[in-house]
Amino acid sequence: MTQIGRIIEQYENKTAKVSVRRGSMCEGCHKADGGCTVCAAFGKRTQEVIALNTVDAKKGELVRLEASSARVIFYAFCVFLFPLIIATACYLVFSRLLDAWASYSLLAAFCGLVLSYVPVFVFVNRNAARHPDVKIIGLIHNEGDSEDE
């Protein structure tokens, strides 16, 4: 999976902070002026990622980024499916323990859903800080021209 971003900060350990447009979220949006519900809820159309700077790009330069599709799918699983699995497990366990108390089972499922984001957040952030999953693979000189190294 490749995307285009702009270097906003360069670090000494061959990594850089890159601002990337949220392509899958904003592409094809009929409210291109920023008035959609998602942009209102999340605040902006860009996100910042830490990328391995393999081409020694400087601050302000436009770069091409690459991320492993398997890694992206794994993170999507962690954020979206893992909490649902934990919520379902909490519901089933509490429905067996408290046979007639369905409302407590639903409460346990909700608590499981909310609390499952804590280890996901810690794991994803710790893993991203240790090993950047995104790599800068080239500089963009013009809109259609790129120098891949």
User: Can you give the pLDDT at residue 146?
Assistant: 46
Phi-psi label, residue 117: left if phi above 0, alpha if psi -120 to 50, beta otherwise: alpha
Q: Mean pLDDT over residues 36-49, rounded?
A: 66
Strands (E), 11-92: 15-21, 46-53, 62-67
Report pTM: 0.61
Which carries the bigger pLDDT value, residue 34 or residue 48?
A: 48
Pick the residue with more confidence: 79 or 128? 79
Average pLDDT over residues 109-128: 87
Lowest mean pLDDT among 109-113, 118-122, 131-135, 139-143: 139-143
* Per-residue DSSP letter, 139: E
**Which stretches of the chain are assigned E, i.e. beta strand?**
2-10, 15-21, 46-53, 62-67, 134-140, 146-148
